[in-house]
Structure 1
């Protein structure tokens, strides 16, 4: 669950509301998210600063493909989305994590509806490069995705691509993934498990949720990749009744994604058409690659060793 509900609104309602809210906007910033322009309009300086640290800069003369309003208006949290205008309106939110996730979900909706020969999809998961090939980790919240990602990145042979969300392009003979963010919105408790990150995380300005934007170049000593060819997928679960590890067939992997709502709590549109698009994407993806199910009931180090063994084969 995302912790918020999304109200779908029509363009006329969105226009009336945005006209009303415009006078409250203090900061307007454009971000380059996978080549698309996303514009943030907010009255929150912390959101403005975090957005600048989080995403790549987009030139001001580029027209936005989508907009995200994040403003204080009343006491009630509200999230509204106009799928025609690709515009999200977030009212009375005190958590930047939702703002950035809704921004990514907004532009992901744009890519899903952008019909061309160069299909682009988004995945809520982490991605790491190993010797020029990528391995991705996908799982429901609380299954250890972030912990395992940073565990792998202790090793100099692994390179950071994204720890929360990435984009995918399907070719006839390959699958290529792309980073979504410039820097990581990191949790402070990562250093409780992996002590080597403690010094860098202690320097991060944290919000009330214990999270903040960390410079990935500092964290990983320049081991950053913008894209990589995907080779293997690791799906996560946490269930003491199931085995710790197994390889999945394409059908088993697809059923996992369907049973877990695509492991994405930030889907703005959840109708039959979108469900079919997402289902067909993952079906094609799983037919192209090896997929494994890792049950994170072991220690973090034991789970980490299993992923390393997969990556190094």
Structure 2
């Protein structure tokens, strides 16, 4: 009898080790994260994205779960961290997670949906207005004591074409329409939205002045914006807050450098943190770039953090039906 009670107490008091990598957690009040988890969890912070696989493997040693950012998780990682049971993605995208490998190693994973749509849409709008109002160009020239007003782009005569019409695109479209932009869109199926629909990406680009990407990154959509579509964007502008891998960045760099594509507003890159061709793109004078932080506003961070933490707690409390949203099938 005594032995049985001891085992019960031991299980209850066993600490669950969680690694937390997103930089967003450095912006939260010091005790907030700990209080959201509760007493049964021991937290380990990296302070930001872990860039190398070997470093990530080292960090994950002894971890039961990981609240993860954009780090790549695949077989080469999973085979070296046998204690890992659960990944809670800080955000909605999971193209960095190899679902097949996670299922193979019986590691569950979740994402957080429908919380930061408005924050990302506002960032899209900021990039759009940065382009149409020449904000970056004006800031650069004026900092050099060059007084050259230039000419802004009027919303009333500008068409914004959205490739994809998911939750973020819908919020962004409403903002654009409110400011007087004409809005058109492409999607695999026509949606119940008050905007002109094009059933091909080609026709969408041809009828737009500024193209904004709102697609998930999957094997089917990787490099979907290829040389053919980029050539169609000559004389136009590109905005991307979705995923860098949607675009052939090498050819995008060429056309931006030649100013064939007039400019771009980019929050995402093929290589993050920006290295190789991605780092060359962000230094071009006709590019407004931010470091994959469209969803990083104070409200969204706290809401996504709370849900991502709850997903971990639901997993270890065996309440899988409450998780937002499981992407594995273990």
* TM norm. shorter chain > 0.5: no
Larger radius of gyration: 2
Q: What interval of TM-score do these two structures reach, taking the shorter chain for normalisation? A: under 0.3
Q: Which has the higher helix share?
A: 2
